[in-house]
Amino acid sequence: MQHFPYWRLSAYYFAYFAFLGVFAPYFGLYLQSLSLSAWDIGLLMSQMQLMRVIGPCLWGALADRLGARLLIVRVTAMVALCLFPAFFYLHRFDGLLLVMTAFAFFTAAALPLVEGLTLDHLRDNSAGYSRVRLWGSVGYIISVTAAGVLLDRMGLTSLLWICMVTLAGILLTSLLVPDTRLHLPAEESSPVGEILRQPSVRALLAACFAMAVAHSTLNIFYAILLAGHGYSKSAVGALFSLGVVAEIAVFLLMPRVMRRFSLRVILLTCFAAAVVRFAMIGWGVDLLAVLALAQVLHSVTYGACHSAAIAAINRCFPGGARSRGQALYAGVSFGAGGLAGGLLSGWTWDWLGGELTFVLASLYALIGLLLVAGWIKEEGVGEAQGTRVVDTAGVV
């Protein structure tokens, strides 16, 4: 096997998730400082999720047609960097929505294509993926913590400059990523339509959708909730970092957990933990210890749940249908679920307030729990023994 460009790929993941660590938690706070409503903020931030449904399919098709994945990664990174300065001058909702939609469309291109490049570099050594992806989590932790400290000292307007620096980092590291020949699987395609007619598969996708709806409330409005209750930006960054550190620990432990417990048991545990977690945030927002424990549960509600869901999708969509199954999972959960969650939480925030919005998020998780308990049986997702965990998500 050719020399694997570990550090160059790791640098890209570090830069990409460093941008997410700045943008995802704090940009909603910046939009709130422009006196926008919660509905407007939810709609604006949901463009990132909407484009994760539309963008990867269009960019992926273009990359396949041109045979130029890496060129698209670099060009879209440059366009995103050139688009972002418009946020310095826009303060009205209509202009912000236009630029946010365009910005989200171009940023949606990069990670799925780089994921493919990374796996093609690895070839049959896919277990090495986690060693590369780990640097994305490290970048997120460093950026979300450092940004919180900087925003406390310099104010929210400095957020735009911090985002610009991290976007430049994405562009620069994309220039370091080497190309490789596309590695196509040998398996024949399986009938995806027949797979989707299975009740257990539809229930799994619907449950993942519900979990993403719940987490979208966290991703968009968690920092706004904490700021409204007097927490500093540094405290917000520390709590986000705590969740990602716990997530990394679970990713390292998941192979052992999945050898011992079935996927159904893991999923039931994850959804039950999510019900508890979001209720804790809504009802215990004034208690730092409660918030810290809720963030530790991120390891289960995201880390373990995502790992188990990917393993279940791999079992439900065998052979040549596997890539389409994973794309469907990402689109239904992180894309459609994230979009619906952003819109729902924006609407309920204005109507019911922040605390009850997070309590409602626990109800979305409860719906997912009932779907798993009622329609996913042991034979529906199989035993997890021997399953290899690979994290392919676009968000931390």
Q: Tell me 157's DSSP state.
A: T
Instruction: Identify the segments of the chain with pLDDT beneath 50.
Output: 1, 382-396
Which residues are CB-contacts of 344 (< 8 A; sequence separation ≥ 6)? 42, 213, 216, 217, 360
pLDDT score, position 130: 67
* Token representation of residue 167: 């976007």
Task: Read off the pLDDT of residues 133-187 as tens digits, 9 standing for 90 and up.
Answer: 789 889 999 999 999 999 999 999 899 999 999 999 999 999 998 887 655 555 5
Side chain identity, residue 391: D
Residue 308, CA atoms < 13 Å, CB-side half-sphere:
35
CATH superfamily of 190-396: MFS general substrate transporter like domains (1.20.1250.20)
* pLDDT attached to residue 60: 74
Residue at 205: amino acid letter: L
* Calpha distance 158→152 (Å, rounded): 10
For domain 1-181, give the CATH number: 1.20.1250.20
Question: In this predicted model, what pLDDT tens digit does every residue of 332-384 receive, in sequence order?
Answer: 888 889 889 999 999 999 899 999 999 999 999 999 999 999 988 765 554 44
Whether the model clears a pTM of 0.85, i.e. scores above it, the answer is no
- Cα gap 328→347, rounded to integer Å: 27
CATH 1.20.1250.20 region(s) of the chain?
Answer: 1-181, 190-396
**pLDDT for residue 268:** 96
352: helix, strand or coil: helix
In the block, residue with structure tokens 């009205």: 92
